């Protein structure tokens, strides 16, 4: 697998999200747990068990969920973050106040199952092109409120993060081109407004658009929904005219097509599939 770095943001960033999701679930109080345990507070142990094969993602987030409810909860990874698991495998062991374990269970499991499903499918895509130079890249097609974690999961699965938001980099898409009156005009105007470090990427659909993007010195050229033959020609054109320009392929990328796309010589292949088409990895919590 090509190298990829998955970095969680600090909890200063995540805690507000986690607290909001806990409040959504707990509301004005866990009627069941608080009624049963009000007269008999106790500590308990639990295990997380894998119920399907895949890659585990989100354990540090799950641990934080429980600790926000009670700092005495101890969450120990038995399966490492980013490692593969099999059905029946123990993923984590947890001990602490029982009410915190029960109130945090659903939010913690939901997040881990969602992120693990993304990491697992991402890794399947990555393995399809593991012996080729092209690298898999995610997109901004993410669940509102979960982007920062879903992109963490794709990186854990072996992909590279594309821009996190509209402020990370410039991407001039088809509607921008139409609104501006052409690629050249769009690049010229954007370049006069953006801060120095930002890169400019342009979405192209034809060889003529590729040529115009090259003429106006785009940093990255996206080949969007191009037939493989035209894509190969576009890559050759870009390599001949400006070797510094990075080439990205996008549009209708599937497990069946990704290898052929990589073989055209592009640097990056972007797809939303690992996020939009992944299934949750089934996990369960069992009291000891």
0.85 cut: is pTM over it? yes
CA distances from 41 to 67, 69, 99 (A): 17, 15, 8
Contacts of 23 (CB under 8 A, 6+ apart): none
- Tell me how crowded residue 7 is: count the other CB atoms within 10 A of its CB: 9
131 is catalytic: no
pLDDT (tens digit per residue) in 8-64: 999 999 999 999 999 999 999 999 988 888 777 789 999 999 999 999 999 999 999
Out of 2, 44, 51, 106, the active site residue is 106
Kindly report each contact of residues 223-232 with a partner whose C-beta sits within 8 Å and lies 24 or more positions away, as own/partner.
Answer: 223/247, 223/248, 223/249, 223/250, 223/266, 224/174, 224/250, 224/251, 225/250, 225/251, 225/252, 226/251, 228/260, 228/261, 228/264, 230/206, 231/261, 231/264, 231/266, 232/264, 232/265
Structure tokens of 175?
């509607």
Residue written as token pair 């929904």: 225
**Half-sphere exposure for 46 (CA within 13 Å, toward CB):** 25
Catalytic residue among 150, 224, 248, 267: 224
- Quote the percentage of the chain above a pLDDT of 70: 98
pLDDT in tens, 82-122: 999 999 999 999 999 999 999 999 999 999 999 999 999 99
Which of 2, 173, 185, 259 is the catalytic position?
Answer: 173
The b-or-e profile of 117-134 (16+ CB within 10 A means b, else e) is: bbbbbbbbbbebbeebeb
Residue 64 is among the residues annotated as catalytic for this protein: no
Reference 152, options 257, 49, 261, 17; nearest CA is: 17
Per the annotation, the verdict on 147 as an active-site residue is no
Of 31, 141, 239, 286, which one is the catalytic site residue?
141
Residue 1 has what pLDDT? 44
């Amino acid at each position: 697998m090509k190298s990829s770095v998955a970095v969680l943001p600090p909890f200063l960033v995540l805690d507000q999200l986690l607290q909001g999701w806990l409040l959504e679930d707990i509301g004005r109080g866990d009627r069941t747990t608080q009624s049963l345990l009000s007269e008999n507070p106790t500590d308990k142990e639990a295990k997380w068990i894998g119920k399907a094969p895949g890659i585990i993602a989100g354990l540090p987030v799950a641990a934080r969920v429980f600790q926000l409810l009670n700092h005495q909860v101890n969450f120990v990874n038995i399966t490492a973050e980013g490692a593969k698991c099999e059905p029946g495998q123990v993923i984590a062991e947890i001990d602490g106040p029982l009410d915190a374990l029960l109130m945090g269970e659903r939010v913690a499991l939901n997040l881990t199952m969602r992120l693990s499903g993304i990491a697992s499918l991402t890794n399947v895509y990555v393995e399809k092109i593991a012996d080729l130079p092209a690298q898999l890249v995610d997109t901004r097609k993410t669940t509102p409120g979960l982007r920062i974690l879903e992109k963490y999961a794709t990186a854990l699965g072996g992909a590279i993060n594309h821009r996190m938001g509209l402020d990370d980099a410039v991407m001039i898409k088809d509607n921008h081109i139409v609104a501006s009156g052409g690629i050249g005009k769009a690049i010229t105007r954007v370049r006069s407004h953006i801060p120095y470090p930002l890169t400019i990427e342009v979405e192209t659909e034809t060889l003529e658009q590729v040529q115009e993007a090259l003429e106006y010195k785009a940093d990255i050229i996206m080949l969007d929904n191009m037939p493989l033959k035209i894509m190969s020609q576009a890559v050759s054109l870009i390599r001949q005219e400006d070797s510094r320009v990075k080439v990205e392929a996008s549009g209708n990328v599937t497990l069946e097509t990704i290898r052929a796309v990589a073989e055209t010589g592009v640097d990056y292949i972007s797809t939303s599939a690992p996020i939009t088409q992944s299934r949750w990895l089934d996990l369960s919590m069992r009291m000891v």
